[in-house]
Amino acid sequence: MITTVTLNPAIDKTVTVENFKASQVNRILSIQENLGGKGINVTKVLTHLGGISTALGFIGQKNLNLIMNFMTQEKFTTNFIPVDALTRTNTKIIDPITKDTTDINEPGFSVNATHIEQMRDRITYFSEQSSFMVFSGSVCQGIDPETFTELVKCVKANCKVVLDADGEILLAGLKAAPFLIKPNIHELEKLIGHNLESDQAIIQACQHLIQKYHVSYILVSMGEYGSLLVSSQETLKVNALKVEVVSTVGAGDSMLAGFLYQYERTLDLKKALQYGACTGSLAVTGISTDALRQHRIEDYLSKLDVHTI
């Protein structure tokens, strides 16, 4: 089983607006709402692929009926800790003409010491049954970086920690020596503190992080330029599929889910990277991770070349 942890869930409201312009009246073409948060997205994709996954997290009680409707429709397994608040709504504005996405994210609710202790207990319990524990996304109010590090350290030794976060939360998670981190190129550059202009520069930056924080693997997504999987021993690279990009929302989560799904089944890094690149590429062909339902993944795998560099 692969368990995911989403500490700052959201209702993702995606609106499509042609030629979106700030400070002007814009006409919405379509609206789509889903229960989101990066870890929840990973669980949804894993479930669609046929994997076994449970999404842990906090959830707001004040709009719980709406949340329950989403979960009933999408049929994935959750184990949420209720909070006396509203689950936030994140609005994503997609412009099909310019291909730009504008994110307007609410901060989310606040949790207290009791909630955090409940989360520690659930992370410990589920890590005893899981091959991977995935910590994804931002944290809600009430959880500082030090507390986040402590939560990651609650994972039992038999379970591998995977981290997909940004900024100070990524740095806090690194202090717990995760098995794998999955930054995109912009998140990696932010962490390192400078631009990375070549594959070799990216590899060197990853090798530095691997040595400093005892990470086993770093999976770097680079959009149309493909992805790199870096370890202390080797680096694998895979191209991206040539597809029409509708939205990049959920692409990284879909890639991580595909990678972990295949790696848990085969323990083959090349196959896992190929599969993850495929699910990540196909996710951008629609508005959300649901775009994967429109494709047979096996039909595309031969178009993705994984090689050592």
Take residue 121 and report the two structure tokens written for it. 């207990």
Asked if residue 97 belongs to a domain, the reply is no
Asked if residue 100 belongs to a domain, the reply is no
Report the number of distinct structural domains present in the chain.
1
Rounded to whole angstroms, the Cα distance separating 129 from 69 reads: 28
Q: How high is the pLDDT of residue 288?
A: 60
**Could you tell me the residue range of the domain that residue 199 belongs to?**
2-7+38-88+116-308
Take residue 167 and report the two structure tokens written for it. 């900024």
Rounded to whole angstroms, the Cα distance separating 77 from 70 reads: 12
Mean pLDDT of 237-255: 88
Rounded to whole angstroms, the Cα distance separating 42 from 28 reads: 28
DSSP label of 32: E
Reported as a pLDDT band with limits 50, 70 and 90, residue 15 is very high
Tens of pLDDT along 156-194? 999 999 999 999 999 999 999 999 999 999 999 999 999
CATH of the domain at 297: 3.40.1190.20
In the numeric block, the tokens 């184990």 are attached to 79
Asked if residue 236 belongs to a domain, the reply is yes
Mean pLDDT of 68-94: 91
Q: How high is the pLDDT of residue 286?
A: 75
Asked if residue 31 belongs to a domain, the reply is no
Q: How high is the pLDDT of residue 293?
A: 74
Asked if residue 276 belongs to a domain, the reply is yes
Measured in Å, how far apart are the chain's first and last C-alpha atoms?
Answer: 32
State the chain's maximal CA–CA distance in angstroms.
54
> Any residues with CB less than 8 A from the CB of 164 and at least 6 apart, and which?
38, 42, 134, 135, 136, 137, 181, 182, 183, 252, 253, 256
DSSP label of 271: H
Q: Residue 151: pLDDT above 80?
A: yes
Take residue 7 and report the two structure tokens written for it. 């500490």
Average pLDDT along the chain: 94
Asked if residue 253 belongs to a domain, the reply is yes
Tens of pLDDT along 195-235? 999 999 999 999 999 999 999 999 999 998 999 999 999 99
Q: Residue 289: pLDDT above 70?
A: no
Asked if residue 286 belongs to a domain, the reply is yes
Radius of gyration of the chain (CA): 19
Q: Residue 287: pLDDT above 80?
A: no
> Any residues with CB less than 8 A from the CB of 215 and at least 6 apart, and which?
174, 177, 178, 179, 180, 181, 209
Calculate what percentage of the chain has a pLDDT beyond 70. Answer: 98
Asked if residue 14 belongs to a domain, the reply is no
Cβ atoms < 10 Å from Cβ of 245: 14
The bridge status of strand 101-104 relative to strand 132-136 is unpaired
